Structure 1
Amino acid sequence: MIWLGVGIVIAGYLIGDGLKNFKNPDSKNILESLDENDDHELIKESDVHHFIGISKEDAKHLIAEHPSIPHIVINNKVYYQKNKLREWLLKIGS
């Protein structure tokens, strides 16, 4: 009985959210709005290989070969902004 109630509540929420955005098809859903919060997230230089999806050694070579990668330096540590790095990767990939 509890699961039926929970299911009705979830269905009501999803239907209500869909109706709220019915006349605005370009609006973002919950998952997209959560994803936009990490656009300003900084990635440490030692963790950039996880974001790119390559080995740590390949990331070091990529960084060394392309000093134009958008980055910032804070207290002598290099950080990469997620959305800027994503844009840069798309630009060099095309």
Structure 2
Amino acid sequence: MDISFFWIGAGLAFLGYFIGDGLKNFKNSKGSFSGYPTLIKERDLYLYLGLSKEEVNELLSKFPDAPKVELKGTTYYPYQHFIEWFSSNDIYKR
């Protein structure tokens, strides 16, 4: 009988551990880039790049191959992919 209480106690301890461990990341469900949106509308891109609207418009017209997604007539830029493309191609040096 004492052994069965031991296993019940051990099971409850493990249950508490796993529930507590899962709750640690409950509010951070977006992952490591949680401060930034996944997709950015074209009109808001300048805010995330730290450029003026005119500079962004010039950049996009100069490099039409920039990573983008078009959904229902609206152009979005995948944040992480766009930043990697932007920095790997040395776009800001041209």
Q: TM-score range by the shorter chain?
A: 0.5 to 0.7
Q: Could you tell me which of 35, 44, 49 is aligned with 2:46? A: 49
2:69 corresponds in structure 1 to 72
How much has 1:38 moved relative to structure 2? 5.5
1:58 to 50, 55, 58: 55
Q: 1:63 and 1:82 mapped to 2: Cα distance?
A: 15
- Distance in 2 separating the partners of 1:89 and 1:53: 13
Q: Distance in 1 between matches of 2:88 and 2:37?
A: 19
Structure-2 separation of matches of 1:35 and 1:51: 17
Q: How many residues in Structure 1 have an aligned counterpart in Structure 2?
A: 63
Query: Is the contact between residue 39 and residue 81 of structure 1 (CA under 8 Å) also seen in structure 2?
Result: no
Runs of 4+ in 1 over 3 A off after TM superposition: 37-40
Segments of 5+ residues of structure 2 without an aligned counterpart are 1-27
Query: C-alpha separation between the residues in 2 aligned to 1:44 and 1:51?
Result: 11
CA–CA distance in 2 between the matches of 1:74 and 1:54?
24
Instruction: Measure, in 1, the Cα distance between the counterparts of 2:77 and 2:36.
Output: 11
TM-score under structure 2 normalisation?
Answer: 0.58
Q: Distance in 2 between matches of 1:84 and 1:55?
A: 20
What is the TM-score normalised by the length of structure 1?
Answer: 0.58
CA RMSD of aligned residues (A): 2.4
Distance 1:40 1:63 in 2: 20
Partner of 2:85: 88
Return the index of the structure with the highest Cα Rg.
2
Structure 1 contact 40–83 (Cα < 8 Å) conserved = no
